[in-house]
Amino acid sequence: MNPFAYTRAASADDAVNGIAAKPRAKFLGGGTNLVDLMKMGVEAPETLIDINRLPLAQIEQLPNGGGVRIGAMVRNSDLAEHALIKSSYPVLSEALLSGASPQLRNMATVGGNLLQRTRCYYFYDPAFPACNKRNPGSGCGAINGYNRIHAILGQSDQCIATNPSDMCVALAALDAVVRVRGPKGEREIPFADFHRLPGDTANIDTNLAPDELITAVDLPAIPFAARSHYLKVRDRASYAFALVSVAAALDLDSSQQIKAARVALGGVAHKPWRARKAEEELTGKTADELTFRAAAEAELAAARGYKHNIFKIELAKRAITQALSTVAAVS
């Protein structure tokens, strides 16, 4: 690990001003991803700005039934077990509980989870020279290498890595909004616009400016989000990234007709993948396995696999069908 300076921010403005003055600085929350990358030599910030004492760890209901605001420093374990989240947004609680280990969830923060680097083993190991995320212009070693965990949707010739977050898949399905503060003030970023697909700039994961601080995430009031589920398919029962995951919610009438649907996928793209085609296919149809499979087929029609991950296409279709079937059976 390279040497670095350390400071502690006394306020959100102090944190923003500190990072604006030091372009090679990084914010330090739980550190569960950043510190790993520093140890591997992938990240080498000159300064760490500790934001753990900022008053950003509240979970509160917004006025007039407007949803829920989650502070950026809320720990993943606290968010997963919060009564309001478990009752109104179970998909988010389930996603959080499926991620990492209890010890890491106790440290990891909401803001840090949002900023996890989209990555693969080629990115993590500087011994592999070809990684456009780590060294733009060097190529993508995964395309012709071992690519079992890699993307099947939205990828480019520059990068086929996948976003590892479970929490973010649920937030994508819930149409969350990310609140940030920078030198020019505060702004809101719709969740669909927060993360980026690789395109020609695989080294840039999000649309957050380098001098901006995430302060909170807002969940809109979605009554049918109480009928939701998170399904994660992985190689091990715990502490493993998703091969494919699905966050799903359905609004059903008394005759099992689908009035609205929310579906997002993880483990398949450079960013949490909102399954818009599946949602369109579901709306107005009867909630049954044939409908769910048709929606999955529509969403995966444009998928493209590689030598070692072609199985993910069928796996994603089955996962979507299973997740929706689970949601439809919830009373």
Q: How confident is the model over 143-163, as pLDDT tens digits?
A: 999 999 999 999 999 999 999
* pLDDT value at residue 83: 98
Average pLDDT, integer, range 11-38: 96
Distance CA 150, CA 161 (A): 5
Give phi and psi for 76, each to the nearest 5: -55, -40
Amino acid at 307: K
Amino acid letter at 251? D
What is the percentage of the chain residues whose pLDDT exceeds 90?
Answer: 97
Instruction: List, in sequence order, every residue forming a beta bridge with 161; answer none if it has no partner.
Output: none
3-state secondary structure of 120: coil
Question: Using an 8 Å Cβ cutoff, are 297 and 277 in contact?
Answer: no
Grade residue 231 by pLDDT with cuts at 50, 70 and 90: very high
Residue 331: pLDDT band (50, 70, 90) is low
- Which of 112, 28, 14, 129 has the alpha carbon at shortest distance from 71? 112
Show the domains of the chain with their CATH numbers. Answer: 5-53 (3.30.43.10), 226-329 (3.30.390.50)
- pLDDT score of 239 more than 60: yes
Predicted confidence band of residue 1 (pLDDT cuts 50, 70, 90): confident
Instruction: Supply 228's token pair.
Output: 């939701």
pLDDT of residue 23: 86
Confidence at residue 274, expressed as pLDDT on a 0 to 100 scale = 98
Q: What predicted TM-score, i.e. pTM, was given to this entire model?
A: 0.97
The arithmetic mean of pLDDT across residues 294-306, rounded, is 98
